[in-house]
Structures are given as C-alpha cells and as structure tokens.
Amino acid sequence: MRAYELMVIISGNLEESAAHNWLSVITKSVTNAGGTVHGTPDWWGKRRLAYPIKKQDDGYYAIFNITAPGG
C-alpha cells in the first residue's frame, strides 16, 4: 500500500452542505477500491479557481490522506 494525498474540487454551484455530503461518497469510493482514508478530510471551503473549468469559476476544496494499492 502506498500513501497518497488526494485533493478534490467539488462544484461551487452546490450549497456547502451538499458539497460536504460528497466527502462521504469519496470516502466510500476509496474504501471500495481497497484503500483507506486516514483521519477526516482537510476542508478548505469555497475558493476561486486559477482559471475556469467547464465554465465554473470556484469550487469547494478538500484534501484526503489515503493509502491505496499502487497502480
């Protein structure tokens, strides 16, 4: 198993509570793939993107510390 730092950006069009719900979805995806999430994700909140992605200017940032099988 290797250690990884996973940064995710969730759509800024969502309410903050809906964006927080995505954290559990991501955690389940990691565990279903055979990985482990360590601790709680580091929530950075809503921030402006450096440049638009698919016409989105901002998003909710979260960082996960995980271990997972190497690719």
Domain 2-68 superfamily per CATH: Ribosomal protein S6/Translation elongation factor EF1B (3.30.70.60)
Q: What are phi and psi of 24, to 5 degrees?
A: -70, -35
What is the pLDDT at residue 15? 95
Helix or strand run (H / E) with residue 28: helix 16-32
What is the pLDDT at residue 53? 93
**C-beta neighbour count of 58 within 10 angstroms:** 14
Mind listing the pLDDT tens digit for each residue in 51-66? 999 999 999 999 999 9
Where do the structural domains in the chain lie, given as residue ranges? 2-68
**Predicted TM-score (pTM) of this structure:** 0.87
Number of H helices and E strands in the chain, helices first, is 1, 3
Q: What are phi and psi of 54, to 5 degrees?
A: 50, 45
- Collapse the DSSP code of 17 into the 3-class scheme (helix H, G, I; strand E, B; otherwise coil) and give the result: helix
Could you tell me how many residues make up the chain? 71
Does 70 have pLDDT greater than 90?
Answer: no
Does 71 have pLDDT greater than 90?
Answer: no
